[in-house]
Structure 1
Amino acid sequence: MLRQGGSAMDAALATLLALNVVEPQSSGIGGGGFLVFDDGKGKVTSFDGRETAPMAADPDWFNMNGQYLSHRQAVPGGLSVGVPGNVAMMALAHGKYGKLPWSALFQPAIRLAQEGFEVTPRLHDYLERYRIDDSLPQETRELQYISKGGPVLSPQSRALYYEPGGEPAHVGATIRNPALASFLESLASEGTQAFYGGANAEAIASTVSGAPSNPAPMAEADLAAYRAKERAPVCSSYRVYRICGMGPPSSGATTVIGILGLLGRFDLHALGKDDPVSWHLIAEAERLTYADRARYLADADYVDVPVAGLIAPDYLAARSQLIARDKSVADAEPGMPAGALVAQADTVTPDIPSTSHFVAVDRHGAVVTLTSTIEGPFGSGLMVNGYFLNNELTDFSLMPEEDGKPVANRVEAGKRPLSSMSPTLVYGPDGRLRLAIGAAGGKTIPSQVAKAIIGVLDWGLTAQDAIALPLIYAPGGDTVIVEKGSRLETMIPALQALGHAKVIAYQLPLKANAIEVVDRVLVGAADPRSEGQAVSE
């Protein structure tokens, strides 16, 4: 796209489409996303393509026969599918900041779908994880999928990605997706109407409402009513830097800024990356910030979210006093930021990561940081026209209240579920872009982004080395998770001595990438744990 004279927006949107083909388990037009954009001339904005609940939805959406479903029960089939938002977000963002024709964005993805792509180790691993014997009865297959914590893959998708005998396509095998290629051609020539109206809208509605597992009411009118939204970014300061990210229904900006703001009074530079105290402090900041996230964050079009209060320097400075260098706060409680509603309960959602993130910059200095997802691996398992439908509605709290108090992130008609996606821009004291970053990995995303920002700004690392740093993750309760096999695992005794009673080493699903600006030179960075790459034109 850049070689053809396109903008950063063109390049980012074309990448989103191409990833639909080659990374079908993680993202695509059947899902949603967020992007933060700097036009290179001083304007920063953001676009919200988060999925919405159908208009038939209500707070008891996941209540079946008087009992609320577990997350594993809710994922497969129609009940978890939200109205996809990526195509509408693409059209809105391209209409304002694209240079190339709309149809040009689709050509790389169409070629990949027609000519085929090679199965990567990551895709193969996911296919292996969700392999089920097709000879088993439907009920037995559903139970096996539920036990794996994933979707029931549709016959259409199994025919595409599995051998006739049920074996997953091997690493290096060529996959062609003619149904997706044909539909992308229609989207390229007809625009968003080809997605939100006509045969595709009818197919989505009928697939969701007629799903073998958890059929749910979705109408063509739900798709016709979908609108992407341009929103003001959420920005604040960290030391001498300015951080801008995605506001509600994403928790990205408030969580990243919250973690960093709580750490502002500590000299992380002097402590360094090899001191267990640094990682202890980061864990404490995460624990407090994730407690606020669980209590207050949701779709701000439906709930009063105290965004300004959560990132206010005075609030973060006061809350930071709960953090000590030599002991742990253990089980953190939410704070009381300005504008907060007292009569709310916490949202509880599991951590099932499968997301794509990328950054694009053009020669004019415009930058896009974009995160897209279908939620869990292969989303709901349902497929329409060669793409998977999301399971984003399981990002809502499945239970609408706790102890008689409403949960902010409960299901409501037309509402957008809370997200962890954290596309982020960092500016230096001169006002110039210093770092564009984001990540995939469920609720670890804000922690990954905050950790990398600390690595660059406090520890003087390159973006590549900062992303490669191990992760410490403390999303709530008394548990701290450190990346298995990393040097943080050797720090477990030191962390326990600092009061972290329950420290677990776990193979976290990490996948961040970034572009940093060093002496006005763009430098890409891709997570060594993932298959991503940094490329230039």
Structure 2
Amino acid sequence: MRSSLSRSQTTTKTVIETEYGVVAAQHSLAAEVGAQVLAAGGNAVDAAVATSFAIGVLEPWMSGPAGGGALMLWRAEDGQAQALNYGMRSPAALDPANYPLSGAGQAGDLFPWEHVVDDRNLQGATSIAVPGVVDGMGKMHGRYGKMPWAELLTPAIEFAQEGLLVDWYAALIIASTTRALAQDPDAAQLFLEDGHWPTITGWTALAEKRLDQSALAASLQQLADKGARDLYDGDLGEAMVKDVQAKGGCLSMQDMRSYHAHFADALTFAYRESQFHALPGLTAGPTFRHALGVMEQTNMQGAVPGAGAFTAYATGLKSAYADRQAHMGHDGEAPGTEGCTTHFSVVDRDGNMVSQTQTLLSIFGSRVVSPSTGFVMNNGIMWFDPVQGRPNSLAGGKPCLMNVCPVIGETGDTRFAFGASGGRKIVSAVAQLSSFATDFDMDLAAAFHHARIDVSGGERIMADESLPPDVISALAAEHPVTTTRRTVFPYAFACPAGVMRRKGMNSGCTEIMSPWGDAIHEQEVAQ
């Protein structure tokens, strides 16, 4: 069926080069918060902490204090890259026997797992894993932050006190998950109106509509006053755990107390004349390295990527996913859905960088809200294969295998911090953007506006229909190909955000189709 979308409409985003720091995030207000921190004298770490908490309020279906993730940090003063992993873990008391297979084929969410009875691994309190975002931000701030912790959380608290404005895009996201949200009374109370999606602000002459995030505001204030570990060792954690257990989950305070985010050496490797720093361990970092290792075997020619480059991208990504599926546990072809994650990147005026990805995993995570804290809870248990005897099989007290792929790249006098949201689509986007910057010397604007393909582990390739016919023909000669357009919703491709430092000048950009995403530099918000 042919699309009814306009064929004459084009979408672009303005990319500004500046000597000042830049924050690129999937919500413009969160990017503005990070830029304000930079303007106030904070460094890239301070800006990342403030942006992390702010975007958890502004995009509560993507990430938040009850989620997890990881980041890459570039320390300009000593020229070192570090990884910080604050991924989720399964509760220690989790029993795989409580997740019996239904025999009904594949589940219908992000991964092609066998279907579990009542979707216990996908939705509800039984899908909740130990969250890591708050401890991760606390660890990073404790080591590298300059500004007071409480000051960095203040913008997020103020956003929550005001409540998220339900514009057309927020209403669209909520509407897409209304049936699932209605199954949890507290999620329904927060996001829905009488069991239906909320009124849209600005529709004709209707009054402004905002979510009631007062409980979240109080919890963030408690974290500001008592520190990050209050969620793990204190009253805030006790309240959250009690809520989860009351709804049938097995999360415990022992799980919370024993949780600690950890720094690690970066997964650093050469790619032609460039160098990359990625996440090690149970992330998409090793998959990203594998893809680039295969891509490196093709001589990229021309001023822009052509048929040869795109067939190399497809070959490298398919090989990387085959290896991931064999050794890290993801089997088969994923359904046509995207992960609901957020990514933002920061560069300060000194050249320090943060490339940060955080997530609830599915859209609205477990679709469970902790009423005592206002937190939207993750569904990290979905990361595990419910079939036993495999590399990523479900078990208690086990770290989750994540798709996150924040990277720091260096080529000549250019350094960049890239990452994306989009579940299994993430690696494809980051690998191609990295090649655009290193193999074809593209600046940030050119890289982010260029058409891409998606290879997410299955046989079929998704190709942007705006790619030249010879590129699509070359891909189709070797792989099954479906062409599609970049749209606002849903995303057929990942949703990247990145910053670049090129000849001493900084720039930032987000996915061009993202209606909320933006890059803000500190001079824009300086008083």
Coarse TM-score class (shorter-chain normalised)? 0.7 to 0.9
Deviations 1:191-224 (A, max 9, x none): 134211344323332333332xxx3322221111
Deviations 1:322-369 (A, max 9, x none): xxxxxxxxxxxxxxxxxxxxxxx9588765410111111222221111
Structure 1: state its 5+ residue gaps: 133-144, 146-150, 299-344, 402-406
Deviates more, 1:83-92 or 1:466-475: 466-475
In the aligned structure 2, how far is the partner of 1:229 from the partner of 1:486? 42
1:217 paired residue among 247, 250, 258: 250
Q: 1:275-354, aligned counterparts within 5 Å?
A: 275-297=306-328, 346=331, 352-354=338-340
Contact kept in structure 2, 1:31 and 1:84, CA below 8 Å: yes
Match of 1:435 in 2: 416
Structure 2 residue matching 1:270: 3-state secondary structure:
coil
1:390 paired residue among 364, 378, 394: 378
Letter matched to residue 517 of structure 1: R
Match of 1:363 in 2: 349
1:479 paired residue among 457, 460, 476: 460
Contact kept in structure 2, 1:464 and 1:527, CA below 8 Å: no
Offset at 1:58?
Answer: 4.6
Contact kept in structure 2, 1:291 and 1:475, CA below 8 Å: no
Match of 1:326 in 2: none
Match of 1:412 in 2: 395
Contact kept in structure 1, 2:340 and 2:423, CA below 8 Å: yes
What is the identity percentage for the equivalent residue pairs of Structure 1 and Structure 2? 28
Q: 1:502 to 1:509 in 2, by over 3 A?
A: closer
Q: 1:487 to 1:152 in 2, by over 3 A?
A: farther
Q: 1:49-88, aligned counterparts within 5 Å?
A: 49-60=86-97, 62-63=99-100, 69-70=115-116, 73=119, 74-88=121-135
Offset at 1:443?
Answer: 0.7
1:113 paired residue among 112, 135, 160: 160
Match of 1:166 in 2: 196
Q: 1:520 to 1:234 in 2, by over 3 A?
A: same
Instruction: Tell me, yes or no, if structure 1 residue 495 matches structure 2 residue 475.
Output: yes
Contact kept in structure 2, 1:422 and 1:439, CA below 8 Å: yes
Instruction: Tell me, yes or no, if structure 1 residue 515 matches structure 2 residue 499.
Output: yes
Q: 1:389 to 1:487 in 2, by over 3 A?
A: same
Instruction: Tell me, yes or no, if structure 1 residue 90 matches structure 2 residue 137.
Output: yes
Match of 2:521 in 1: 536
In the aligned structure 2, how far is the partner of 1:280 from the partner of 1:399? 34
Contact kept in structure 1, 2:356 and 2:419, CA below 8 Å: yes
Contact kept in structure 1, 2:122 and 2:382, CA below 8 Å: yes
TM-score, length-scaled by structure 2: 0.81
In the aligned structure 1, how far is the partner of 2:246 from the partner of 2:195? 27
Offset at 1:239?
Answer: 1.0
Q: 1:174 to 1:9 in 2, by over 3 A?
A: same
Q: CA RMSD in A?
A: 2.5
Deviates more, 1:524-533 or 1:89-98: 524-533
Instruction: Tell me, yes or no, if structure 1 residue 32 matches structure 2 residue 18.
Output: no
Q: 1:121 to 1:249 in 2, by over 3 A?
A: farther
Deviations 1:426-480 (A, max 9, x none): 1124xx6511111111111111111111112222322222122222122334221
Deviations 1:173-207 (A, max 9, x none): 33341111111111100113421134432333233
TM-score, length-scaled by structure 1: 0.80
In the aligned structure 1, how far is the partner of 2:303 from the partner of 2:227? 53
In the aligned structure 1, how far is the partner of 2:229 from the partner of 2:416? 36
Letter matched to residue 245 of structure 1: A
Q: 1:137-148, aligned counterparts within 5 Å?
A: 145=180
Offset at 1:19?
Answer: 0.6
Instruction: Tell me, yes or no, if structure 1 residue 424 matches structure 2 residue 407.
Output: yes
Letter matched to residue 188 of structure 1: A
Contact kept in structure 2, 1:157 and 1:386, CA below 8 Å: no
Q: 1:71 to 1:281 in 2, by over 3 A?
A: farther
In the aligned structure 1, how far is the partner of 2:257 from the partner of 2:462? 43
In the aligned structure 1, how far is the partner of 2:455 from the partner of 2:210? 40
Contact kept in structure 2, 1:235 and 1:243, CA below 8 Å: yes
Structure 2 residue matching 1:209: 3-state secondary structure:
helix
In the aligned structure 1, how far is the partner of 2:331 from the partner of 2:102? 24
Letter matched to residue 264 of structure 1: E
Match of 2:32 in 1: none
Q: 1:493 to 1:509 in 2, by over 3 A?
A: closer
Match of 1:101 in 2: 148
Q: 1:199 to 1:454 in 2, by over 3 A?
A: same
Q: 1:4-23, aligned counterparts within 5 Å?
A: 4-23=40-59
Q: 1:173-184, aligned counterparts within 5 Å?
A: 173-184=209-220
Contact kept in structure 2, 1:271 and 1:277, CA below 8 Å: no
Q: 1:125 to 1:499 in 2, by over 3 A?
A: same
Offset at 1:512?
Answer: 0.5
Letter matched to residue 59 of structure 2: E
In the aligned structure 1, how far is the partner of 2:117 from the partner of 2:282? 20
Structure 2: state its 5+ residue gaps: 1-36, 105-113, 203-208, 486-490, 523-527
Deviations 1:117-142 (A, max 9, x none): 4234432222111223xxxxxxxxxx
Offset at 1:92?
Answer: 0.7
Match of 2:286 in 1: 254
Offset at 1:11?
Answer: 0.5
In the aligned structure 1, how far is the partner of 2:312 from the partner of 2:213? 48
Structure 2 residue matching 1:118: 3-state secondary structure:
coil
Match of 1:229 in 2: 262
In the aligned structure 1, how far is the partner of 2:99 from the partner of 2:263? 30
Contact kept in structure 1, 2:129 and 2:381, CA below 8 Å: yes
Match of 1:268 in 2: 300
In the aligned structure 1, how far is the partner of 2:354 from the partner of 2:454? 27
Q: 1:517 to 1:347 in 2, by over 3 A?
A: same
Offset at 1:66?
Answer: 9.2
Q: 1:443 to 1:66 in 2, by over 3 A?
A: closer
In the aligned structure 2, how far is the partner of 1:159 from the partner of 1:39? 43
Q: 1:226 to 1:437 in 2, by over 3 A?
A: same
In the aligned structure 2, how far is the partner of 1:32 from the partner of 1:488? 39
In the aligned structure 1, how far is the partner of 2:425 from the partner of 2:102? 34
Contact kept in structure 2, 1:371 and 1:422, CA below 8 Å: yes
Structure 1 residue matching 2:216: 3-state secondary structure:
helix
